[in-house]
Structure 1
Amino acid sequence: MNSVTAPITWRRWLSVCLLLFIALWFGTLEVRDLIRTDETRYAEIPREMVASGDWITPRLSDLKYFEKPPLQYWATAAAFTAFGPAAWTARLWTALTGALAIWLTWFTLRRLTSSTTTPNLAGTASAIPWLGAGMLASSLFWIGGGHINSLDMGLSFFMHATLCCLLLALHADHTHAPLQARRWMLASWASMALAVMSKGLIGIVLPGGVLVVYILLTRDWRCLRRLEWLRGLALFFAITAPWFILVSLRNPEFPEFFFIHEHFQRFVSKGHRREGPPWYFIPILLAGLLPWTSWLFKALWQGVCQLLPALKRPQAMPFEQRQTLLLWLWVGLIFVFFSVSSSKLPGYILPIFPALCMLLAPQLAATANRSLRWHALAVTVVTGIFAAAIALLYPQQINKDLFYRDLYWQYAEILLLCLGLLVTASAITAWLAHRHRQQPQPSWSAYLLLGLASFVAGHGILLGHQVLSPSSSARVMAQTLSPYLETDTPLYSVDIFEHGLLFYTQRPAILVATKDEMYLGVAQEPHKQIPDLAQFAQRWQQEKKAIALVKPDRLPELTALGVKFDIRYQDQRRILISKPLTSPTQ
């Protein structure tokens, strides 16, 4: 390939990859039904915002719901207003912020590597931004996070924007561009404010903690003066304060619940059934970073070898090493923070993935083909182990839900097919690297093949989950119910709360003998719920038409209380009943 045709060929390849990215990243949002619990919860709250016209007080099943701030609710409600409530509009904000984080990774690395010549950001400098963005786009966990409707991706994007703007501000100050440094620092404050509006105080606590540790380790006291405190704090509060003030004025119970219960108590308490061992996030990190996991160990070792000696004389530490240190602190402190927390969910460590890709991109760019083949073989082995584990352990999960046994077997086949694609691609990557082992530069075609295979496999794993919709979603159940629902037909939820049924029937449910996450709303508006089965039985007798979602083990109690019903839908976990006279023709 000569020097004239090479840029044209790679430009075409980049165009093809970009089109494939857009097609799969955004074009598949409607393929899967919304699944429980986060996806339907964070779709139903914005739907009720649009229906009620109240965009200040979030509500779920017409009860106050103050667990999280409203930024994603507002974005999704705007999408519902413009395009109507649907799976793709519910996931649009998550997909958009995930894609923007990939672009921001490319943009930041491009600015940081354009003038560096140090080993920390060495390799083929022009390839580093593309490698960083490509790694993030093809990491299995990032693909999943970008297509599951939860708050973690929006938080991750704005936290990543906070970090990137801080890096760019420090870089501009280092290159004597004070105006640019000021603008990037203010952008960092704004991003931090939007992170707070995405998921709470964690959006400022974690970036602030990382920056404090960075300053203490580097003894870079000038950094404190470059933070634009007055303008930054003014901008931060201009973005965050209006909603917090309004919602507190309308709901005096909000400050204690949101700031004390949802932040401090949730971090130290195990009452939310989200606890896990200290190593909980390690397998999630190693599997989620595939197919780039093996480079993590090399980068970590090099970081330790380079940074620990430099920290003995922090004032003499080169600026590029300071950037690397800040990135490692971001990854390490956030990982440790959530590892020691009493509340753990897989998506909590999503914010570290963009920073990891920024750290690993120079490693990939500097990897010789002799080393690349061993990395690719490691991916082949690890992915093969995952496939074997699924083949051996998945039948145990299937036996837990015999009602949908055939569907679980179908999904197992899809999982093995997608992992088989990744195993095949990594084996070919190893062969390509071996074939070009005499070349000093890495085989870019090998990286491209590995990234594309992972990108396609990740989407295949997601899209294949649709076969489990009858078990994991409420859409089929709601469709079965629709002939029996009229505008004035009440919907009861008896000792079970299915967010998806609310979204797909587009109506709130009256809670019966259940509180769980709704206990604050129930306490504030007790007249909107029924406290026990006896009162529900009385209400049921008075209704001309009614629908109720119940647990299977509750039916004998209801029968003993004289509740008469027809079963309209049933599976292993849930049953829909209606008044006996309720039918499509009556």
Structure 2
Amino acid sequence: MLCGISQGGLTESSEARYAEIGREMALSNDFLHPRMLGIGHYHKPPVTYAITALGYKLFGYNEFGARFFLAVALIIQLLLVYKMGKLWFDDRKTGIYAALIYFTFPIALASVLNLTTDAFLNTFILSSIYCFLYAKLKKNTSFLYLGYVLLGIAFLVKGPVAFLPVALFMICYKIINKEPVKPSKHTVLGIVLLLLISASWFIAIVLEKPNLLDHFIEDQIIKRSVDASQFKRSKPLWYYLVFAPLLCLPWTVPFVYVLIAKRNHLKFTLQLKVLGFTCLAILVVFSLFSSKLIFYILPLYPLLALFFAGIYRQLLEKEKGYFILTYKVGFGILTGMAIALLCIPAFEYKIWLSILALAVIGSYFYWWNFKANASKSTRLFGLSTGATCILLLLYFSFAPQNELLMRSFKPQFSFIKEQRKDLKEYKVIVYDYRLPSAEFYLGDRIITVSNTNYESLRDTRFEKDSSWTRSYIDLRNPKNYPKFEALLKDPNNIIITKDRRPIPDSLDHLTKKFKVEEFGDWRVHY
């Protein structure tokens, strides 16, 4: 994992945004005020940016530094899932099964291959749940306080949404175990500690800039939850109910099989009931919000892995059909993915590497099926874990060859560097789009020009001075046209445009002298 995370350039827009804000934070050593392209960016608390900045401090300003702690987050999550399964089910094998199942979930791997808040949020939420469970089962108050501290940090990763999965888990736990709601003094003190940690950054920033309070409440909480259309994230009510099960294949298929055909063979313990009802509650509650992205429900999947592991531990060695069905579905998915990738003409891949990968996969499956002297569970998890590792290696090889298809603009930035390698002074004008990766790869020579595209608009209400005007031009103000026109007249400058938003016709004559290099839908004028 660590060897491959530097493969492929930063992708637009989310990953590049987090990477660039972290880079500017590391360069300025200002961990209180997140900034992107020289302008304050207060959409989320600063923990993800700070973690990314630490990666740069350790490994330099590159893709590896940006993504390093994502790999660490996955390792911590796997360890927590194992520890939680071992603790709660009082069975080491259940913990191992849960960790291996979670590792093979596509959504778990996708969350750590692309820099966003989601992997870090999931890590802190899962850590908090584990601490609360440990405190409950082992009567350890120090873990109770640690759970509240970790939940407070989770809040500083992404805001109030961090509370929901933990609260739903605790509610389901108490209802199913028929525990009365009687907060102890430790619980009250823990909640006070949680609120202090959660509010710390917001208090500090609002005391400095009071007008940010309305921004946090109205724009970042209410509008994101209720008016998702503003952020282009509105999805129908059924969105999670349909797509959530698909992201934990092949394990969902045998579970449905058990519910239909073998339900009498399964004992729904208290642990399985708590996990099952918590997963259902998370799906229902998050489905009620109009704003939906698939990574929003990422905290569901460690609990699902534990749920599936508890079922597998009961049935895997007893039910031959359970093993065969899981194996067939998994093998079918792998085969379908391989055929689909080979049949999509837009993808580029090395034929020798593809043949080698198929040979490795075939040999691996042959050994586990016909040569390995192992139990059903060992064979199944050996196959699934090995197949996942091979897919990861293929992804790390595939990503650098298809950067434009994956919305990474590193190739065009490399082209710009090559064209201007003998020049120290030039500007790169990004017209009517916001490309944080441009500054990551090209430095502070980027000027964003906003015209009609909402994605290129910047919120400058909270800027104390006018230094941001050096890197941002808003053409909605006619007074800024002369500045934009002067940039176009300089032959040393470079312009980046997209097909759907070309330079205005009134200024088109200024770009006639430029050559044009095409990168998919994008154009580099030089």
Query: What is the TM-score with the length of structure 1 in the denominator?
Result: 0.77
Q: Does residue 268 in structure 1 map to residue 226 in structure 2?
A: yes
Instruction: State the alpha-carbon separation in 1 of the partners of residues 247 and 361 from structure 2.
Output: 14
Q: Does residue 111 in structure 1 map to residue 87 in structure 2?
A: yes
Q: Residues 540 and 563 of structure 1 are in contact (CA less than 8 Å); yes or no, is this contact kept in structure 2? A: no
Instruction: State the alpha-carbon separation in 2 of the partners of residues 322 and 217 from structure 1.
Output: 7
Q: Which segment drifts farther, 197-206 or 546-555?
A: 546-555
Evaluate the alpha carbon distance shift between residue 537 and residue 414 of structure 1 in structure 2; reply closer, same or farther with a 3 A threshold: farther
| Structure 1 residue 274 displacement after superposition | 1.9
Aligned equivalent of 1:198: 157
Aligned equivalent of 1:117: none
Q: Residues 373 and 429 of structure 1 are in contact (CA less than 8 Å); yes or no, is this contact kept in structure 2? A: no
Evaluate the alpha carbon distance shift between residue 276 and residue 453 of structure 1 in structure 2; reply closer, same or farther with a 3 A threshold: same
Aligned equivalent of 2:415: 480
Identity among equivalent positions (%) equals 19
Instruction: State the alpha-carbon separation in 1 of the partners of residues 25 and 64 from structure 2.
Output: 18
Question: What amino acid maps onto 2:193 in structure 1?
Answer: L
Residue in structure 1 matching 2:320, options 370, 384, 388 = 370
Query: What is the TM-score with the length of structure 2 in the denominator?
Result: 0.84
Aligned equivalent of 2:437: 500
1:340-385, Cα deviation, whole Å (9 max, x unpaired): 3222222222211111111111322331261312321232334445
SS, match of residue 343 in structure 1: coil
After TM superposition, the structure 1 = structure 2 runs for residues 286-305 of structure 1, keeping only pairs within 5 Å, are: 286-297=245-256
After TM superposition, the structure 1 = structure 2 runs for residues 195-344 of structure 1, keeping only pairs within 5 Å, are: 195-216=154-175, 218-222=177-181, 224-226=182-184, 228-269=186-227, 270-282=229-241, 284-297=243-256, 321-344=269-292
Q: Residues 176 and 274 of structure 2 are in contact (CA less than 8 Å); yes or no, is this contact kept in structure 1? A: no
Residue in structure 2 matching 1:551, options 495, 498, 518 = 498
Instruction: State the alpha-carbon separation in 2 of the partners of residues 411 and 246 from structure 1.
Output: 52
Unaligned residue ranges in structure 1 (runs of 5+): 1-24, 115-124, 173-177, 311-320, 399-404, 579-586
Instruction: State the alpha-carbon separation in 1 of the partners of residues 409 and 96 from structure 2.
Output: 40
Aligned equivalent of 2:378: 444
Instruction: State the alpha-carbon separation in 2 of the partners of residues 331 and 445 from structure 1.
Output: 28
Q: Residues 21 and 34 of structure 2 are in contact (CA less than 8 Å); yes or no, is this contact kept in structure 1? A: yes
SS, match of residue 10 in structure 2: coil
SS, match of residue 449 in structure 1: helix
| Structure 1 residue 291 displacement after superposition | 4.0
Aligned equivalent of 1:99: 75
Instruction: State the alpha-carbon separation in 1 of the partners of residues 363 and 239 from structure 2.
Output: 29
Q: Which segment drifts farther, 348-357 or 201-210?
A: 201-210
1:165-198, Cα deviation, whole Å (9 max, x unpaired): 22222212xxxxx3x2x12221221121111111
Q: Residues 13 and 436 of structure 2 are in contact (CA less than 8 Å); yes or no, is this contact kept in structure 1? A: yes
Q: Give the number of aligned pairs.
A: 508
Higher helix proportion? 1
1:433-483, Cα deviation, whole Å (9 max, x unpaired): 9x98xxxx6341342123211232244235412211144212121111124
Q: Residues 295 and 360 of structure 1 are in contact (CA less than 8 Å); yes or no, is this contact kept in structure 2? A: no
Instruction: State the alpha-carbon separation in 2 of the partners of residues 568 and 93 from structure 1.
Output: 38
Q: Residues 291 and 451 of structure 1 are in contact (CA less than 8 Å); yes or no, is this contact kept in structure 2? A: no
Aligned equivalent of 1:170: 136
Q: Which segment drifts farther, 328-337 or 226-235?
A: 226-235
Residue in structure 1 matching 2:28, options 42, 48, 52 = 52
Q: Residues 56 and 247 of structure 1 are in contact (CA less than 8 Å); yes or no, is this contact kept in structure 2? A: yes
Question: What amino acid maps onto 1:202 in structure 2?
Answer: V
Aligned equivalent of 2:7: 31
The RMSD of aligned alpha carbons is 3.5
| Structure 1 residue 426 displacement after superposition | 6.7
| Structure 1 residue 47 displacement after superposition | 0.8
Q: Which segment drifts farther, 551-560 or 490-499?
A: 551-560
Aligned equivalent of 1:516: 454
Question: What amino acid maps onto 1:460 in structure 2?
Answer: L
Q: Residues 254 and 325 of structure 2 are in contact (CA less than 8 Å); yes or no, is this contact kept in structure 1? A: no
Question: What amino acid maps onto 2:272 in structure 1?
Answer: T
Q: Which segment drifts farther, 247-256 or 381-390?
A: 381-390
Q: Residues 447 and 473 of structure 2 are in contact (CA less than 8 Å); yes or no, is this contact kept in structure 1? A: no
SS, match of residue 410 in structure 1: coil
Evaluate the alpha carbon distance shift between residue 442 and residue 556 of structure 1 in structure 2; reply closer, same or farther with a 3 A threshold: closer
